[in-house]
Amino acid sequence: MAAKGLTLEQIAAALGIDVRTLYNHRKKFREVGEAINRGAANGIATIANKLFEAANNGNVKAQIFFLKARAGWRDQGAVVEINNHQNVNVAPDPAVLAADRNLIREAILILRQHGVPAAVELDEADFRALPEPKRGQG
């Protein structure tokens, strides 16, 4: 039952005994604890092997899950750079950043034209560094 992922509480319920009885038997009889541990390890090994086979056979979801679980990969974005420590660093998409800068610049200009203080104040160097808005956007 442990091989199928059942908890000790679920195993006890399936056996029709109180979970405390199972805990006591596991402590009192070494073989019971070893059997539960062996069963759990066998279940994990079976599923891990299936996952590895699926990943090797081109199952992209299995590949992604395996890399997240075993290699520390995380969802962070579309552009990925792997450094020497096998961490994944994601660089923002330059086109998205440029579009965001254009929107921010336009919003600040509109606020200033109407005498409304901008919620985000940029110093003049930052303001000049923002790209000029392109015609036809917005």
Q: Please tell me the total number of residues recorded for the chain in this structure.
A: 138
* Domain spans in the chain, listed from the N-terminal domain onward: 2-90, 95-129
Q: Which residues of the chain have pLDDT under 50?
A: 78-79, 119, 137-138
The confidence score (pLDDT) of residue 122 equals 54
The confidence score (pLDDT) of residue 86 equals 57
The pTM of the full predicted model, rounded to 2 decimals, is 0.48
**Helix crossing, 30-56 with 19-28: angle to 10°?**
100
The confidence score (pLDDT) of residue 138 equals 44
**Helix crossing, 60-71 with 30-56: angle to 10°?**
130
The confidence score (pLDDT) of residue 71 equals 80
The confidence score (pLDDT) of residue 123 equals 55
